[in-house]
Chain A
Amino acid sequence: MKFFREHGFACRAALARISAAPGSFIFNVLVIALALILPLAGLTLLDNVRPVSQGIAVEPEISVFLSTDIPGGRAQALGDEIRGLIRREQLEAKVEFISRDKALNSLKQRAGLGDVVATLGNNPLPDAYVLKLASAKDAAGASRIEKLAAGIGKLSGVEVVQMDSAWVKRLAALMTLATTVLWLLAATLCGVVLAVVFNTIRLQVLTQSEEFAVSRLLGATDAFVSRPFYYTGAILGLAAGALALAGVMLAMLLLNTSVTQLAALYGSPFRLAPLPASTTGMLLAGSAALGVLGAALSVRRSLRQPG
């Protein structure tokens, strides 16, 4: 009961201090929200792009296109030879044969290509094998994959061997880089948030220094005098986090019209979606925690004063 009473008192004291100087509070919330909006927008963007990139296989994939004049029996026999080469290179791979008829049907079903395929007199596509390999764990593994591709290229009846993973790997690397940059940016801006909260609370402590000192003379513990400032920090962080998230949502609403139009041109239903509720909750809790941390650092400094 006493616990709730003390926290209730601290919360009311914090709200009273905020309402005593609402202009200053709003200004500080705006400054912190501006610092938070960039990493939050980046996070929202990455969160939207990640499922798209994850939908694309990042495992090395080798497409083996056979000559169009190859007899049907030879095309089937090549499958065993390819499997043999895979075993020889001590690799794991799923081998799928795609006949030229199956490839044509698949092409027909693609958006906008049905009419084009219908105009073709005969099927120009070759039979093909698609090898889905497990990702190489080291340089030696990557080298064996390249050796396998070279070996397949030398087989009789093979026209072209194509490694399909390079660009996907680049995209994955780019995503990793973007994530790292985002974290670095977030860390820097968290520092900005801490500095703003620290300074705001320091000014409040200076303003309330007499209350601070008198309360301590009357038997207030450090926890008692600090608690309202922790609440102020938490409210500041929470309000700034909520404002920054609202800003990101607004920007997303404005951008979504253009994004959906652009995606529709590629036959994609892609649109920017808000962060999941759990992530939003965690971000709000995080910004409130940043506020509390800034306040704690500031108050701790003030508590070192004698008396």
Chain B
Amino acid sequence: MSIISFSHVTKKYPGDVVALTDLTLSINEGELVFLTGPSGAGKSTLLKLVAGIERPTGGVLLVSGQDMRKLNRTTLPFLRRKLGLILQQHRLLQDRNVLDNVMLPLVVTGASPQESRQRAMVALERVGLDAKALATPMSLSGGEQQRVSIARAIVHKPRIILADEPTANLDRASAKGVIDMLHTFHSAGVTCIISTHDERLLQGADRVFELARGKVAAVHDAESEVGA
């Protein structure tokens, strides 16, 4: 069953910069999908469209059954609560400790502080950072900050995890650790869409969409020899 569906989606940025052209693809619930391709291929734009950070210029994009072009300021936050975002730049709040950062997706939904704290600690345990709950993000390494970002993305039990270059700037061991974690969440039934440059990380993907110049250049499924 399709949870994300792009139908002839086009995205143009101001200045007639075309990021996606007539893109049609669908992603099923529970799939682990990788997006690959060179810089400027449209990977980040695709993820931004799914997260509602950008709007399609043309075509129809359905996320969890909702037409992204019809979502407004009131309804968009409720869709975002079904998503877990892992961003390349982590975007952790530097003036708050790790625990507060991880609690944030729960706090914005109006969850009680006790429940938020408890669930955030569980999420931190899953990424192996419960001992650093009271540390500031700045005192952590890049890999640890990415793990905090992952804990923040999973704390509210999202249906879809969107990860934009989650292993960029990480050493190989940390990168592998991050991907292993995403595999764990996928095995728990969460749909994961991960963009990456690193073809060594594609093992275990259900499908890999290779993008080029805003279009799907190739699709590799689990049976193909992805990243071999």
Contact surface of A with B, Cβ cutoff 8 Å: 2, 5-6, 9, 210-211, 213-222, 224, 303, 306-307
Could you say which residues of chain B place their CB within 8 Å of the CB of A210? Answer: 91, 93
Most chain B C-beta atoms within 10 Å of own C-beta, residue among A215, A218, A220, A221: A218
A-B contact pairs, 14 of them (CB 8 A): A213-B91, A215-B104, A216-B77, A217-B53, A217-B85, A217-B91, A219-B78, A219-B80, A219-B83, A219-B105, A219-B108, A219-B109, A222-B77, A224-B108
**Within 8 Å CB of B78, what residues of A?**
219
Which of A210, A214, A219, A224 has the most CB atoms of chain B within a 10 A radius of its CB? A219
- Name the prevailing secondary structure of the A interface residues: helix
Cβ of B74 under 8 Å from chain A: yes
- CB-contacts of B120-151 with A (<8 A): none
Closest chain B CB from A19 CB (angstroms) = 13
User: Is B110 in contact with chain A by the CB < 8 A criterion?
Assistant: yes
Q: Identify B108's interface contact among A213, A215, A306, CB under 8 A.
A: A215
A220 vs chain B, min Cβ distance (A): 4
A218 touches B93 (CB 8 A): no
Chain A positions within 8 Å of B73 at CB level: 222, 303
Main secondary structure of the interface of B (DSSP, over half): loop
Using known A-B contacts A210-B93, A218-B85, determine if residue A9 contacts B107 with beta carbons closer than 8 Å: yes
Q: Which 5 A-B pairs have the closest CB atoms?
A: A219-B81, A220-B108, A219-B80, A218-B105, A2-B110
**Smallest Cβ distance from A251 to chain B, in angstroms?**
41
In this assembly, does B51 line the interface, its C-beta being within 8 Å of a C-beta of chain A?
A: yes
Q: Are B93 and A217 in contact (CB under 8 A)?
A: no
**B91→A221 contact, CB < 8 A:** no
CB of B152 closer than 8 Å to a CB of A: yes
Write out the residue numbers on chain B whose beta carbons fall within 8 Å of the beta carbon of A224.
Answer: 77, 108
- B77: chain A residues at CB < 8 Å are 216, 219-222, 224
Of all chain B residues, the one with the shortest Cβ separation from A216 is B77
* Residues 54-82 of B contacting A (Cβ, < 8 Å): 73-74, 77-78, 80-81
- In the complex where A9-B107, A210-B91, A210-B93 touch, is A217 in contact with B80 (Cβ < 8 A)? yes
- Cα A214 to Cα B73 with chains together (Å): 15
Instruction: Give the contacts of B38-59 with A (CB-CB under 8 A).
Output: 51, 53
How far does the Cβ of A12 sit from chain B's closest Cβ, in whole Å? Answer: 10
Most central of A9, A217, A220, A222 by chain B CB within 10 Å: A217
Given A218-B108, A221-B74, 6 more A-B residue pairs with CB atoms under 8 Å apart are A218-B80, A218-B85, A218-B152, A219-B108, A220-B108, A306-B53
Known interface pairs A217-B80, A218-B85. Does A307 touch B53 (Cβ–Cβ under 8 Å)? yes
A2 to B83, CA, bound (A): 22
CA distance A215 to B106 in the complex (A): 10
A213 to chain B, nearest CB (A): 8
B93 — which chain A residues lie within 8 A by C-beta?
Answer: 210-211, 214
Residues of A within 8 A of B91 (CB): 210, 213-214, 217
Q: Given the complex of chains A and B, what is the CA–CA distance between A221 and B104 in angstroms?
A: 13
Q: Which residue of B lies closest to A210 (CB)?
A: B93
A98 vs B190: C-alpha distance in the bound complex, in angstroms?
100
B112 contact set on A, CB distance < 8 A = 5
Taking the closest CB of chain A, its distance from the CB of B130, in whole angstroms, is 21
**Closest approach, in angstroms, between the C-beta of A304 and any C-beta of chain B?**
10
Residues of chain B contacted by A307 (CB below 8 angstroms): 53
Collect the chain B residues with CB atoms within 8 Å of residue A215's CB. 104, 108
- A223 CB to closest chain B CB (Å) equals 9
Q: What is the minimal beta-carbon distance from A120 to any residue of chain B, in angstroms?
A: 86
B44 to chain A, nearest CB (A): 14
- Looking at the complex, which one of B51, B107, B156 makes contact with A217 (CB distance below 8 Å)? B51
Bound form: Cα–Cα A221–B110 in Å: 11
Which residues does chain A contribute within 8 Å of B51, judged by CB atoms? 217
A266 to chain B, nearest CB (A): 63
> Closest chain B residue to A16 by CB distance?
B95
Within the complex, the shortest CB–CB distance from A214 to chain B, in Å, comes to 5
